[in-house]
Structure formats: structure tokens, C-alpha cells
């Protein structure tokens, strides 16, 4: 069997604010606006990754805060963690952990996106 990641689907408290955030932080491109199962869905491209964004349903619980089991973070490989950190910080990224060596040969930094999504930027030597 062979698998290739197609997309990550995120539920959003404010759909348009989430779309604007990913456009601002990652220069994301909106590739489709559709309706799926009676709900709006926006498909965006961040490099080789596709995100599907849709509004939270009324019966869904609020997102977790702090550490929790389940989906934990999205991790993006970058060429230079410090430079990317500075660029994202200038755009308003809410970093919770600044650039650091998380283990020998791996630098990373972590920030929070809308709806409790934690994002890691990392570089492996």
C-alpha cells in the first residue's frame, strides 16, 4: 500500500479570519471555495500542503488549550529557523517557544495560529 498526504482539514471559529491568517503568515493561495455537506469549505495551498478550512459546527466542542492528546501540531520544514521566526514575528505570529535546538542538529520554534492550532517551524542539519 502507498499513501500520500492530500490535505489537513481544520475547523475554524471564524472561517474568513483563518483564511486571512494563513494568507498573511504563509502567503497561502486560495484554490477553491466550495460547499460540502451544507457547509462552506475553503481549500488553500501552502507550498506543497493543502489545508481545507471550514467553520466549526454548533455542536462541536471548543478547541483544547494547553497540552492535550489528539492532533498536536503542524510542522513545516524551513531553510533557516531564525530568519523565518523573525519574518513571521514581524507579521504578528504568536510564538510560544522561540528558536531553540530541540535535539542535536534540529532547530525549531513554535507559534499559535487561530483555533488553537500549534505550528512548528524546523530545520534539520
Residue-wise pLDDT tens digits, 43-72: 999 999 999 999 988 776 766 666 665 677
Sign of CA dihedral 32, 63, 112, 104: negative
Is residue 32 within 8 A of residue 42, CB to CB? The reply is yes
pLDDT, residue 72, reads 76
- With cell 542539519, the residue in question is 125
What the block records as the C-alpha cell of 120 is 512548528
pLDDT, residue 121, reads 97
Is residue 17 within 8 A of residue 114, CB to CB? The reply is yes
Strands (DSSP E) found in the chain:
8-12, 29-36, 39-46, 49-55, 74-77, 94-103, 106-112, 118-124
Would you give the end-to-end CA distance of the chain in angstroms?
Answer: 31
pLDDT, residue 57, reads 80
Burial class of residue 124 (count of CB atoms within 10 Å of its CB; 0-12, 13-18, 19+): exposed
Domains of the chain: 1-57 (3.10.180.10), 72-125 (3.10.180.10)
More confident residue, 29 or 66: 29
Amino acid at each position: 500500500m502507498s499513501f500520500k498526504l492530500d490535505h489537513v482539514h481544520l475547523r475554524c471559529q471564524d472561517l474568513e479570519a483563518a483564511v486571512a491568517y494563513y494568507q498573511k503568515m504563509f502567503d497561502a493561495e486560495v484554490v477553491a471555495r466550495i460547499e460540502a455537506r451544507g457547509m462552506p469549505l475553503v481549500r488553500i495551498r501552502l507550498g506543497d500542503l493543502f489545508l481545507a478550512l471550514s467553520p466549526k459546527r454548533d455542536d462541536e466542542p471548543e478547541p483544547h488549550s494547553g497540552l492535550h492528546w489528539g492532533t498536536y501540531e503542524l510542522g513545516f520544514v524551513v531553510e533557516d529557523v531564525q530568519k523565518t521566526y523573525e519574518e513571521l514575528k514581524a507579521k504578528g505570529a504568536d510564538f510560544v517557544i522561540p528558536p531553540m535546538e530541540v535535539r542535536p542538529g534540529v532547530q525549531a520554534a513554535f507559534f499559535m495560529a487561530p483555533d488553537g492550532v500549534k505550528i512548528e517551524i524546523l530545520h534539520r542539519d
